[in-house]
Amino acid sequence: MSADLKSTFLARSTVRAADLEHRRKINFNIGKYNAVVPQGKQQFAELNLARERAKNIKWRAIETLDQQLENFEAAFTARGGKVIWAVDADQAREEILKICKEKNCKTLVKSKSMVTEEIKINEFLEAHHIESVETDLGEYIQQLDNEPPYHIVTPAMHKSKEDVARLFAEKLGTDPKLTPEQLTLEARARLRQKYVQAEVGITGANFLVSDIGGIALTENEGNARLSCSWPKTHIVVVGIEKVIPSMQDLGLFWPLLSTFGTGQQVTVYNTIVSGPRQPKETDGPEEMIVILLDNGRTNILANPASRESLYCIRCGACLNACPVYKNIGGHAYGTTYSGPIGSVITPHLRGMDDWKHLSHASSLCGNCTEVCAVKINLHELLLENRSEAVEEGYAPFAEKLAWKGWKFTMMNRKWMNKGKPAMKDWMVNKVFKGWTAHRADLHFPGKTFNQLWREKNNPS
| pLDDT, tens only, 243-256 | 999 999 999 999 99
Question: Across all residues in the chain, what is the average pLDDT?
Answer: 94
Pick from 69-73, 277-281, 363-367 the range whose average pLDDT is largest. Answer: 69-73
Residue 137 has pLDDT above 70, yes or no: yes
pLDDT bracket for residue 153 (50, 70, 90)? very high
DSSP 199: S
pLDDT bracket for residue 125 (50, 70, 90)? very high
pLDDT bracket for residue 406 (50, 70, 90)? confident
Residue 319 has pLDDT above 70, yes or no: yes
Residue 398 has pLDDT above 90, yes or no: no
pLDDT bracket for residue 412 (50, 70, 90)? confident
pLDDT computed for residue 454 by the predictor: 86
Domain range annotation of the chain: 1-42+307-395, 49-295, 402-457
pLDDT computed for residue 416 by the predictor: 74
Residue 1 has pLDDT above 80, yes or no: no
pLDDT bracket for residue 396 (50, 70, 90)? confident
Residue 422 has pLDDT above 90, yes or no: no
pLDDT computed for residue 448 by the predictor: 82
pLDDT computed for residue 459 by the predictor: 67
Instruction: Find, among 28, 29, 18, 7, the residue nearest to 328 by Cα.
Output: 18
pLDDT computed for residue 460 by the predictor: 60
Write the DSSP string, 287-324. Answer: EEEEEEE-TTHHHHHT-TTTGGGGG-----HHHHH-HH
CATH class assigned to 1-42+307-395: mainly alpha
pLDDT computed for residue 217 by the predictor: 97
Alpha carbon distances (Å) from 443 to 87, 407, 413, 416: 52, 21, 20, 15
Residue 73 has pLDDT above 90, yes or no: yes
Residue 379 has pLDDT above 80, yes or no: yes
pLDDT bracket for residue 425 (50, 70, 90)? confident
Model confidence pLDDT, tens digit, residues 270-289: 999 999 999 988 889 999 99
Q: Average the pLDDT over each of 80-89, 189-198, 405-414 and give the range with the smallest value.
A: 405-414
Please give the share of the chain, as a percent, with pLDDT higher than 70.
99
Instruction: Please give the Cα distance from 319 to 259 (Å, whole number).
Output: 15
Alpha carbon distances (Å) from 458 to 64, 213, 297, 420: 64, 76, 61, 22
Residue 413 has pLDDT above 80, yes or no: no
Instruction: Name the β-bridge partners of 428.
Output: none
Instruction: Please give the Cα distance from 233 to 252 (Å, whole number).
Output: 31
Instruction: Find, among 283, 313, 249, the residue nearest to 114 by Cα.
Output: 313
With b for 16 or more beta-carbon neighbours within 10 A and e for fewer, the 160-172 pattern comes to eeeebbebbeeee
Q: What is the mean pLDDT of residues 186-209?
A: 96
Instruction: Please give the Cα distance from 156 to 142 (Å, whole number).
Output: 6
Torsion of CA 263, 110, 187, 316, to 10 degrees: 20
Instruction: Please give the Cα distance from 371 to 323 (Å, whole number).
Output: 13
pLDDT computed for residue 196 by the predictor: 92
DSSP 153: S
CATH class assigned to 49-295: alpha beta
